[in-house]
Copies of this chain bind each other. A is one copy, B any other.
Amino acid sequence: MTRYYSEHSQYFVSVDCIVFGFDEGKLKLLIGKRQMDPGRGEWSLYGGFVGENESLEDAAHRTLLQLTGLKEMYLKQVGAFGAIDRDPGERVISVAYCALINVKDYNRHLQEEHGVEWVAINDLPPLYGDHQVMVEKAIGILRRRIDTEPLSFNLLPSLFTLTQLQQVYEAILDESIDKRNFRKRMKLLDFIEKTELVDKQSSKRGAALYRLNKKVKE
């Protein structure tokens, strides 16, 4: 292979995954204690190095597959982080990706295998390196996009109640929403539809289940 750029330096490039889930009415993040040096034992996002035969996004998908057992999920780039000393070990340039998954789909024994836990975002411990900043930026993106893009559904099962959906909105925006106004707004969305099915889990009366009816565009 012809070498064009050989006079320049090369760097390790990693991806860090900010995996959001929704459980017990809260927005949660999958984090674990680092199992390698440096920073062994510190709370950290799950990440991995970019391989030679994969794009950044491929690397994020591979990492997320290892971590969650899931192949398809909502994935969005949060940004590149390249401060010289951002990693306490060596210089690593990292690209953060934000993923939204349905906690129920998560393969539970992978959780133990990787030593990760779901932690509520309002209750996060200090995180390794600049991971805190990545998380904050990811939440900012979610907040800004939640009304423009059908994000929230990725955090729920394919059948969901309006109450669940409202809880997702409230968790992401960190504010409470009026139930009637919320339901009115949701009725105007053309990509969700009511089914005949009823969820009896959470109430005696039962709540109508809704689903997406179109493939969501980027």
**A interface list, Cβ under 8 A from B:** 1-5, 8-13, 36-38, 49-57, 77, 79-84, 89-93, 95, 144
- Tell me whether A90 and B5 are in contact in the complex, defined as CB-CB below 8 angstroms, given that A13-B13, A82-B95, A95-B80 are known contacts: yes
Name which residue of chain B comes closest to A80, CB basis: B80
- Tell me whether A13 and B49 are in contact in the complex, defined as CB-CB below 8 angstroms, given that A1-B90, A4-B38, A5-B89 are known contacts: no
Q: Measured between C-beta atoms, what is the minimum distance from A158 to chain B in Å? A: 29
13 interchain pairs, CB-CB under 8 A: A2-B89, A4-B89, A9-B49, A9-B52, A10-B12, A11-B13, A13-B13, A13-B82, A54-B84, A55-B83, A56-B80, A77-B79, A82-B95
Most chain B CB within a 10 A radius of its CB, from A8, A83, A91 = A8
Q: Measured between C-beta atoms, what is the minimum distance from A59 to chain B in Å? A: 8
Could you tell me the dominant secondary structure of chain A's interface residues?
Answer: loop
Q: Measured between C-beta atoms, what is the minimum distance from A178 to chain B in Å? A: 24
Indicate how many identical chains form the complex. 2
Name which residue of chain B comes closest to A148, CB basis: B144
Contacts of A55 in B (CB 8 A): 82-84
Contacts of A84 in B (CB 8 A): 53-55
Contact of A93 among B13, B38, B81, B90 (CB under 8 A): B13
Q: Measured between C-beta atoms, what is the minimum distance from A52 to chain B in Å? A: 5
- The docked-state distance in angstroms from the alpha carbon of A9 to that of B93 is 12
Q: In the complex, given contacts A1-B90, A4-B90, A93-B93, what are 15 additional A-B residue pairs having Cβ atoms less than 8 angstroms apart?
A: A2-B90, A4-B36, A8-B12, A9-B51, A11-B13, A13-B82, A13-B93, A50-B93, A56-B80, A56-B93, A57-B82, A77-B80, A79-B80, A82-B95, A144-B144
